[in-house]
Chain A
């Protein structure tokens, strides 16, 4: 080393880390504070919500309170209130002296009791302690000594100083007695006080009741209570915890207004000066449907079972609403919020409560109406085939059981014969007999199953026409044109567009044509088209069918639009169809899997007759399908009327049937196999009856739990990325684009909703850009739905979930509510709601039509309280034969004055039973129904009642039919003679008191009776005989109506001087109808 090193400070030792430490510690502290902040605010956005809610709600409450005070003031200023208040004051004044006296006595008494009590309790404690010692002392002598002590103690006198400073001495016994006496006195006095105050409290209660009865909203005091509650509000998690169902929902931590007793709107919670409600204001509204919450108590159901989302999460909006990638149950979108109903109410067809439920009900109905369940299984839909199968299974089981029983019974009898003792033999014999009785019961059961199978066969329907009749029904050249694109011919048709190419169209039509039945149809006379038009427009055809296109369209969408039916249909077939659509060309035997013809009947020497009474196969005795599987009913038209309507319809065309291009290729036998392949491929048999496809299964996926399918299982194909990221909507066809409920996608749509909506709007969208053979292409056809329909179906599918809730949350009632559930399926199946109103607020097709605008009494009756109105047994008869007559059928049984006709639906026994129970259950009526006994009126009462009945102030017979044709021409109400069998007396009384409450808008006026001293009194003038009559006049009238005889009605009508006598049943020309065979008929009683 050349140089002596200069001593230098060692850097390792001298280096200071102070700055490092200070900085590091500062940052560490900062992160610690950050963590604290994060924990108390960053992770708790709901705190801000609660602060905000507090401020806004308090302001809202202040205004609400002043409003409430206003209305309370109005109430307290009313004369009724003043009267009650007066009563209260008087009562108080009256009771005051007595009350004061008693209270004075009571306070004196209390002081005395206290004085005695102080001494007594002390002495009692000592005596009790001593008694205990005696009880537990083992030696008798000790016991004796202590007893002596006790006696001595009890004898000792104690001084009690009373409040008035008087002193008195008592021994223990006296003390006890005095104490008890004083207490008894106090009890008696208290009771007296209560008695004295009774009128006061009663008057006060009346006062309070008056206020609460007349206040629509909360009283100012209640609002003040709320105000106090929120003024002292400290932010805290609000949660609903249902341990059994693993529900933890903290939604209310932000949505604090949801269950507030006041109705909170977003506008009310918006800050002053802001036009649009901000995020907070929108979050703070109360639940839009409080009635719904009454049924679904949030304390039991929470929020997430209906709305989904992550109820536990409170850290952010996205988390809480479950709108993030890894949460399987995101909040149902607002437009599809009713999907939540489906998760528990899968078994319901119609789910309506107030404003809620229309969308999901529509979706559920569309699923069936549009034939979705033809290809897609969905639990609960189209149950008949499955039930039929299970029925067959059960019959087999029972028959086996029966066989076993008889075997065992035979062996038992043998044992009896060889038994050693008589007693034993008797025992064996008895067992054998019991088994035989069991077998007889089994026979009964089997019989029931047979009946039900028969019914089920009748209940099986297809939504589309029977294509076995294609040759009889259709214009041959029209078929390929139709198949190519059904909407070109009929824009509103249910037949979807399968995107068939020409080869497919050719081969399919060839198969259908070549396998069609070739039976001959009876030739029909030409009818009067003008009369047919009138009938078509007035008989109610338009409740299901529509006519006209575009803006001219009128009628319902349940069935086909008939604007161009003349181009496609064969007149003869059309007549038969209109007269009775159920009439089948040939019966079908499911056992042999073939259509049975006259030759089969002839083989067995049987007449070629098949209908609901003759439904056994001539070859093997199995149940036949003897009806067309359509829901189209019979309107009980005369043959001429049917011809008239058909003549009218056949004129409905835009081009001549002959102008269609020749389609003789349909006779090419070579195309047949190819056609069969494509029919199977596209699942045509899901909706149509097609020869050779009667047992065809469904081709689509089961959709029962489609809504909870993992998103990865929904094939977005080439649009996966596009869906995840948003951007331009892949649908380019403007027609299809217009179907999307929210318009073209604006953001990412990689979710179930996006998938369903796109798939429904343009089913082939996920084929787009893919290269596939015809067989591989997506088969789902375009159902040309509109936005609302897609929204409804999407709602339905979103709700189709495998729920994690316990089974008890599923709505599967076993009581009368089940009848309601089952009934709705039938009501929807036959489109009853096209004509009748079942739920307040529900519109019918006919109600919306211009021709009924001014003549609403010509509309079919509203069925809002049908179950309470009619006798169920009568209803069953009516439903099976609405003409209520086997001979005079071309009319309405109850309301002959209505032009619109209640058709004969040929309900099976099964459906009749369900429908009757449905109506009863819907009106909370018990089944079976035991009619109320109507008292027989005395002659005087009859006279009185008659005077009401024929009073000019209530001219009943002016509107009600009497059976007299001339009169009934203007009638707008049913004949009274039907009442006895048809109606329930209690309902009739309610009806005549206030018909508007039962059937809003009815022609029957209200105000016929008025309430007078707790008696219903006729509003018009009454004869003197009513003097001193104390029964309700309305009741009297009802009794009279239920005892009305034709003669009496005739007499009254005659007396009223305008109507001719009501004749006996009219004899309309009954033309026997010679078709093939009538497939209709009343349900056998």
Chain B
């Protein structure tokens, strides 16, 4: 009989242990606080203008540039002037229409969206500019100064697609792009040659090279950055640069015909 009593006692002990374990577990769970989400939007990260650095440079095209083809615009008599294919604009070895921006190195910084609108103008059945940089959420204003109807049709990957008609002299169309996207094509279905690219980035540190191939990024806080040079035809090049306070460095890039 003792044997049995012992067995029963043993099981009782186990039970007690188990109960204890169960209780302690519960207490532990209660100590944890329920999650609360931070609802407020992140405020722009301030940059000390005293330490701001800058990067500038020029972009070259290596090799002989093909002569830009002329576009036949006879399809629409309303398209005046002459128009060249803008996929590769090289002047004296200087490559235009290269979008330069800080690809990495800004961490989680956020920036204020400029109040001014970026403008795309349709004039002479071509887009001005051919390559545009904007910040996410920045207003883009599309104007039509041609005496013909255009339709503006961006075909993005990450943003929403739309396609709107704009008769001559119509009010400008105002749009924003919510998500980062590089080389977002915009076209006009009625004038198949019309094409441009919008680059949407999260920071204000971007530039498009002009006909002289030059660019400049100002107001950067010190740090290690990756600069990206993006060209619609020639692809992307990345370069690393380290900026100390008030630095102003030169970073050049050079593209080759592929």
Q: Interface of A with B (CB < 8 Å)? A: 20, 23-24, 26-27, 30-31, 34, 37, 41, 48, 52, 55-56, 58-60, 62-63, 66-67, 70, 268-274, 854, 856-857, 951-955, 958-959, 970, 972, 995-996, 1000-1008, 1019-1021, 1057-1058
Contacts and interface: CB of A to CB of B under 8 A. Distances in A.
B190 A1001 contact: no
B34 A271 contact: yes
A1020 B170 contact: yes
Interface in B1-40: 1, 5, 8-9, 12, 15-16, 19, 22, 26, 29, 32-37, 39
Nearest to A62: B36
Contacts of A1002: 163
Given A970-B192, A1000-B161, A1019 B36 contact: no
Nearest to A28: B8
B161 A1001 contact: yes
Contacts of B36: 59, 62-63, 272
Given A20-B5, A23-B9, A27-B12, A272 B32 contact: yes
B189 A1003 contact: yes
A972 B189 contact: yes
Given A27-B12, A37-B19, A56-B35, A953 B5 contact: no
B110 to A, nearest CB: 19
A271 B165 contact: no
A31 B8 CA distance: 10
Nearest to B76: A958
B167 A1019 contact: yes
A263 to B, nearest CB: 13
Interface residues of B, number: 44
22 contacts: A20-B5, A23-B5, A24-B5, A27-B8, A31-B15, A41-B22, A48-B26, A60-B37, A63-B37, A66-B39, A269-B35, A854-B187, A856-B155, A952-B168, A953-B168, A955-B148, A996-B163, A1002-B163, A1006-B163, A1019-B170, A1020-B149, A1020-B167
Contact of A959 (B22, B37, B152, B189): B189
Given A1006-B162, A1019-B165, A272 B5 contact: no
Closest 7 CB pairs of A and B: A953-B167, A59-B34, A1005-B151, A1005-B165, A1003-B189, A1020-B167, A1007-B164
B190 A959 contact: yes
Contacts of B1: 20
A52 B29 contact: yes
A1020 B150 CA distance: 12
B69 interface: no
Contact of A1058 (B75, B164, B189): B75
Contacts of A952: 78, 147-149, 167-168
Given A955-B148, A1006-B165, A1020-B170, A268 B12 contact: no
Nearest to B25: A48
Given A30-B15, A953-B167, A958-B75, 19 more contacts: A20-B5, A34-B15, A37-B19, A63-B37, A63-B39, A269-B35, A273-B32, A273-B33, A854-B155, A854-B185, A952-B148, A952-B167, A953-B149, A953-B165, A954-B149, A1001-B155, A1003-B189, A1005-B163, A1019-B167
A48 B33 CA distance: 16
A23 B4 CA distance: 12
Given A52-B29, A1020-B167, A1057 B77 contact: yes
A103 to B, nearest CB: 44
Given A857-B189, A952-B78, A1005 B164 contact: yes
Contact of B163 (A27, A1003, A1021): A1003
B171 to A, nearest CB: 10
A27 B163 CA distance: 80
B35 A272 contact: yes
Given A34-B15, A37-B19, A271-B33, A67 B165 contact: no
B246 interface: no
B103 interface: no
A271 B35 contact: yes
A381 B29 CA distance: 53
Contacts of A995: 163
Interface string B128-153: 00000000000000000001110111
A961 to B, nearest CB: 14
A951 B148 CA distance: 10
B165 A954 contact: yes
Contact of A59 (B35, B148, B168): B35
Contact of B32 (A271, A972, A1006, A1007): A271
Contacts of A1058: 75-77
Contacts of A66: 39
Contacts of A48: 26
B32 A67 contact: no
Interface string B50-92: 0000000000000000000000000111100000000000000
A954 B167 contact: yes
Contacts of A1001: 155, 161, 163
Given A37-B19, A972-B189, A1004-B163, A955 B149 contact: yes
Contacts of B149: 952-955, 1020
A1018 to B, nearest CB: 9
Nearest to A1009: B165
Contacts of B8: 24, 27
B153 A55 contact: no
A958 B163 contact: no
Nearest to B4: A24
B9 A27 contact: yes
B40 to A, nearest CB: 10
A549 B172 CA distance: 48
Given A59-B35, A953-B149, A1008 B190 contact: no
Contacts of B76: 958, 1058
A534 to B, nearest CB: 19
A48 B23 CA distance: 12
A393 to B, nearest CB: 54
Nearest to A1002: B163
B9 A958 contact: no
A1002 B151 CA distance: 11
B225 to A, nearest CB: 29
B37 A268 contact: yes
Contacts of B195: 854
Contacts of B15: 30-31, 34
A1058 B12 CA distance: 100
Contact of A1006 (B5, B9, B77, B164): B164
A954 B8 CA distance: 93
Given A23-B5, A58-B34, A996 B162 contact: yes
A1003 B167 contact: no
Nearest to A857: B189
